[in-house]
């Protein structure tokens, strides 16, 4: 008998009918003789509704009170799922983040898991109860409610799986697994049976929108086997685990990310410490910078270009403009008409020529590359947003990914 952690997102628990679907999936695992811990997000639009309620009373509420407010969302969905399972005649109990021992640091709105105090969950599992836990939320050292920020419920599920030593952490989504490319763009995209943590991390950060990075990082750290699978269709998903299959595929998938904006600082002085000055300013504002390109200095001047996510663009521009007296750029340009297209695969580490094959695919398709960024297991290019889908199809085709 093994322990399985299952996580269901807000869409999966949005109404009574969907709750019953979820309950049946949970009961199936339970009736197979497994101990089951279920992590749920807030129902469908609950979080948006609560944010709107907050906005009506205060345009800048404290993060502490927002966490109190938003955590009510999972409290509602978890009790409704428990009631649904009660109706279907299985023993069940729901636990909030604090009841389940989800101890976090003190950062409201984006807390990090510190540890899971498993006593209560283990006691309920010993009683043969299905345990429903509120995702996304925890409790800090002073006894206040915290939330884990974006992708928080995935992180909750992995943290619980790690703490309880679960065999498997199943993340139920609206897709049947991880594909070689977005099936909406590439018709013959193929579902992968398994993928390594590192490949998944690159895919997640590159806009594959399946799993949040934090959860994959945690799964890698504690060696938790994850499965990404559909909450609607009963078909095997994609397993995310330590080792890739013996025969390493060159390239595992192609992704596109449109949530990219480029900022260019034109004509800054070509002197030591300039990049540090710029990027430390942005780091202080918690703005992550992705691809960076620095032109070769000429006449003591150079250009620095880099990308940020579109939601960080305004804040980044504000920061740079406020500090341009010190930075000394003659102009600060930006564009949002840009996409990042990437290929990911642990196999490419030992295979030279992968990059040139990718560039060839783009050249054949007549697509101009603006910036390039590489790591051991991925290659990203920045191109015009209008060319992005064409690029994904061309690359997917070039690497024969539909024949894996």
Between 94 and 170, name the residue whose CB sits nearer to a second copy: 94
* Strand partners for 374: 379
Q: How far is the CB of 90 from a second copy (least distance, A)?
A: 12
CB atoms near residue 399 (< 10 Å): 24
Between 20 and 360, name the residue whose CB sits nearer to a second copy: 20
Query: Residue numbers of the site for a second copy (CB under 8 A)?
Result: 15-16, 19-20, 50, 53-54, 56-62, 64-66, 68-69, 71-73, 75-76, 78-80, 82-84, 86-87, 93-94, 96, 98-99, 120, 143-145
Backbone phi and psi for residue 361, each to the nearest 5 degrees, phi listed first? -60, -40
What are the start-end ranges of the H helices in 168-309? 197-203, 213-222, 274-284
Q: How far is the CB of 23 from a second copy (least distance, A)?
A: 9
Q: Are 43 and 13 in contact (CB under 8 A)?
A: yes
Q: How far is the CB of 360 from a second copy (least distance, A)?
A: 55
Between 132 and 329, name the residue whose CB sits nearer to a second copy: 132
Query: Using N-to-C axis directions, what is the helix angle for 213-222 and 152-164, rounded to 10°?
Result: 10
Between 79 and 267, name the residue whose CB sits nearer to a second copy: 79
Backbone phi and psi for residue 375, each to the nearest 5 degrees, phi listed first? -135, -175
Between 79 and 324, name the residue whose CB sits nearer to a second copy: 79
Q: How far is the CB of 160 from a second copy (least distance, A)?
A: 18
Between 110 and 301, name the residue whose CB sits nearer to a second copy: 110
C-alpha angle 7-11-17 in degrees, rounded to nearest 5: 100
Between 1 and 142, name the residue whose CB sits nearer to a second copy: 142
Backbone phi and psi for residue 269, each to the nearest 5 degrees, phi listed first? -65, 135
Q: How far is the CB of 56 from a second copy (least distance, A)?
A: 4
Q: How far is the CB of 106 from a second copy (least distance, A)?
A: 14
Q: How far is the CB of 91 from a second copy (least distance, A)?
A: 10
Return all residues near 264 (Cβ < 8 A) that are at least 6 apart.
303, 304, 305, 331, 332, 333, 334
CB atoms near residue 325 (< 10 Å): 7
Buried b (16+ CB within 10 A) or exposed e, 12-31: bbbeeebbeebbebbbebbe
């Amino acid at each position: 008998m093994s322990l399985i952690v299952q996580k269901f997102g807000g869409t999966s628990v949005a109404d009574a009918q969907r709750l019953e679907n979820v309950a049946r999936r949970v009961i199936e695992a339970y009736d197979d003789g497994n101990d089951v811990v279920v992590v749920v997000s807030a129902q469908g639009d609950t979080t948006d509704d609560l944010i709107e309620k907050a906005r009506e009373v205060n345009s800048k509420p404290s993060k502490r009170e927002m966490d109190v407010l938003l955590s009510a969302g999972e409290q509602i969905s978890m009790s409704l799922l428990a009631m649904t399972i009660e109706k279907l005649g299985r023993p069940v109990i729901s636990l909030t983040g604090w009841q389940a021992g989800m101890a976090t640091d003190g950062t409201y709105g984006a807390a990090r898991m510190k540890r899971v105090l498993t006593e209560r969950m283990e006691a309920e599992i010993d009683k043969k109860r299905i345990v429903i836990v509120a995702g996304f939320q925890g409790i800090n050292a002073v006894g206040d409610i915290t939330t884990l920020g974006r992708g928080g419920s995935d992180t909750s599920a992995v943290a619980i799986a790690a703490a309880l030593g679960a065999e498997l952490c199943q993340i139920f989504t609206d897709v049947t697994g991880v594909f070689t490319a977005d099936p909406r763009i590439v018709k013959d995209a193929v579902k992968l049976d398994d993928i390594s943590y590192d490949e998944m991390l690159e895919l997640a950060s590159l806009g594959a929108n399946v799993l949040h990075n934090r959860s994959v990082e945690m799964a890698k750290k504690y060696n938790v086997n994850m499965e990404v699978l559909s909450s609607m269709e009963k078909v095997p998903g994609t397993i995310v685990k330590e080792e890739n299959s013996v025969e390493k595929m060159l390239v595992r998938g192609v992704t596109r990310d449109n949530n990219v904006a480029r900022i260019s600082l034109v004509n800054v002085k070509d002197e030591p410490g300039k990049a540090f000055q710029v990027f430390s300013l942005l780091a202080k504002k918690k703005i992550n910078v992705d691809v960076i390109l620095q032109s070769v200095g000429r006449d003591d001047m150079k250009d620095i270009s880099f990308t940020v996510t579109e939601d960080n663009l305004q804040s980044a521009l504000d920061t740079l403009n406020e500090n341009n007296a010190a930075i000394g750029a003659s102009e600060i340009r930006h564009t949002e008409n840009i996409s990042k297209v990437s290929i990911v695969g642990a196999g490419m580490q030992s295979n030279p020529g992968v990059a040139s094959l990718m560039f060839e695919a783009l050249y054949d398709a007549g697509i101009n590359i603006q910036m390039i960024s590489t790591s051991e297991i991925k290659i990203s290019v920045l191109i015009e947003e209008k060319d992005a889908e064409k690029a994904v199809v061309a690359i997917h085709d070039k690497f024969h990914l539909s024949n894996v």
